């Protein structure tokens, strides 16, 4: 199935404006990812499909479209340097300086939830019995309803657990049938999943001590990355951190200070 240049350009503008995703130069990717779906749904062609997209008040068809244009690929212990920094640097600083014991962490673009659960496991290891009296709930958000549903269930296959240490597998996962594993309730209860489009305004009752936004900005152009990093900065507590993906190029005007590859900080002290 072929999309006309005019329709492609309308789609590029629509997706960029609403979701920040930059589809320029990706016409064949769009055609190949959408053709089967459009046919299976019984649409005659791209023109008919796009007329539905442009007046989709339910948001369901748009959500499907965005799902098909992005990837939810993720796994436990992905970019493990972040988990080392988290455990060895971030948490000791946070424990010392957060006087009200309300530690605020946001996994932005959480996909299937592995990243957020992984952070919750690290905190459980780090704090042990000291976690009593702390509020350690992690906020995890995404625009993919499919991913959020799966994240909430917290069930994973062997493949996404392959980097998890054996002792953690025994401690934090409950084996199920068909080689699947479910994250234990104690860890699942420490993560709150919500829909949030990173292009929308952010208003949170309190700033975050850590924002983890890894392998999400790869979809965005420079201007979008720059605006998003400024919003993140506004939502970060003084001395708080931002983690981005190791392969990502931050915007030129990122307001945070660089600490090490893919680790940024607002100010000097937590």
Ligand X SMILES: C[S@@+](CC[C@H](N)C(=O)[O-])C[C@H]1O[C@@H](n2cnc3c(N)ncnc32)[C@H](O)[C@@H]1O
Q: Which residues contact 45 (CB under 8 A, 6 or more apart)?
A: 1, 38
Q: Taking Cα atoms as reference points, which of 120, 108, 136 lies closest to residue 200? A: 108
Please say which residue, 109 or 240, places its beta carbon nearer to ligand X: 109
* 3 state SS of 131: helix
Q: Which residues contact 79 (CB under 8 A, 6 or more apart)?
A: 214, 245, 246, 262
Smallest separation (angstroms) from ligand X to the CB of 77: 10
Site for ligand X in 16-55 (CB under 6 A): 19-21
Applying CB under 6 A, which part among 65-73, 82-90, 176-184, 230-238 lies near ligand X? 65-73
Smallest separation (angstroms) from ligand X to the CB of 47: 26
Smallest separation (angstroms) from ligand X to the CB of 132: 29
Smallest separation (angstroms) from ligand X to the CB of 180: 19
Smallest separation (angstroms) from ligand X to the CB of 217: 9
By CB under 6 A, tell whether 72 contacts ligand X: yes
Smallest separation (angstroms) from ligand X to the CB of 45: 27
175 touches 196 (CB < 8 A) = no
Tokens at 28, concatenated: 């064949």
Quickly tell me which residue has 């010392």 as its tokens: 96
140 touches 151 (CB < 8 A) = yes
Q: Which of 76, 77, 78, 119 binds ligand X (CB under 6 A)?
A: 78
Q: Taking Cα atoms as reference points, which of 76, 84, 216, 90 lies closest to residue 142? A: 216
Applying CB under 6 A, which part among 15-23, 44-52, 174-182, 184-192 lies near ligand X? 15-23
Q: Which of 219, 232, 243, 264 binds ligand X (CB under 6 A)?
A: 219
Exposure letters 234-256 (e unless 16+ CB within 10 A, then b): ebbbebbbbbbbeebebbeebeb
Smallest separation (angstroms) from ligand X to the CB of 66: 7
Site for ligand X in 148-207 (CB under 6 A): 197-199
- Count of residues of this chain found to bind ligand X when the rule CB under 6 A is applied: 25
Residue 22 to residue 10: CA distance in whole angstroms: 12
* 3 state SS of 181: strand
Q: Which of 13, 32, 71, 80 binds ligand X (CB under 6 A)?
A: 71
CB burial class (10 A; 0-12, 13-18, 19+) of residue 260? exposed
Site for ligand X in 80-139 (CB under 6 A): 109-111, 115
Which residues lie near ligand X (CB under 6 A)? Answer: 19-21, 70-74, 78, 109-111, 115, 142-144, 147, 197-199, 214-216, 219, 245
């Amino acid at each position: 199935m072929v999309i006309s240049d005019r329709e492609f350009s309308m789609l590029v503008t629509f997706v960029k404006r609403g979701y920040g995703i930059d589809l320029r130069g990706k016409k064949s990717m769009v055609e190949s990812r959408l053709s089967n779906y459009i046919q299976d749904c019984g649409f005659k062609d791209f023109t008919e499909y796009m007329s539905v997209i442009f007046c989709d008040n339910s948001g369901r068809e748009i959500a499907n479209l965005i799902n098909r244009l992005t990837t939810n690929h993720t796994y436990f212990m992905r970019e493990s340097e972040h988990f080392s920094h988290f455990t060895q640097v971030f948490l000791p600083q946070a424990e010392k300086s957060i006087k009200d014991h309300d530690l605020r962490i946001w996994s932005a673009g959480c996909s299937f939830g592995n990243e957020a659960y992984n952070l919750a496991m690290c905190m459980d290891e780090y704090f042990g019995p000291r976690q009593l009296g702390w509020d350690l709930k992690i906020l995890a958000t995404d625009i993919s309803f499919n991913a959020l549903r799966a994240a909430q269930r917290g069930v994973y296959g062997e493949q996404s657990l392959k980097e998890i240490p054996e002792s953690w597998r025994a401690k934090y996962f409950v084996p199920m049938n068909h080689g699947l594993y479910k994250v234990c309730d104690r860890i699942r209860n420490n993560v709150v999943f919500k829909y949030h489009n990173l292009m929308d305004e952010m208003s949170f009752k309190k700033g975050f001590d850590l924002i983890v936004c890894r392998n999400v900005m790869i979809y965005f152009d420079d201007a979008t990355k720059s605006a998003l990093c400024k919003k993140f900065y506004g939502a970060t507590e003084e001395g708080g951190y931002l983690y981005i993906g190791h392969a990502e190029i931050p915007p030129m005007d990122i307001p945070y200070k660089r600490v090490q590859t893919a680790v940024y900080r607002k100010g000097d002290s937590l």
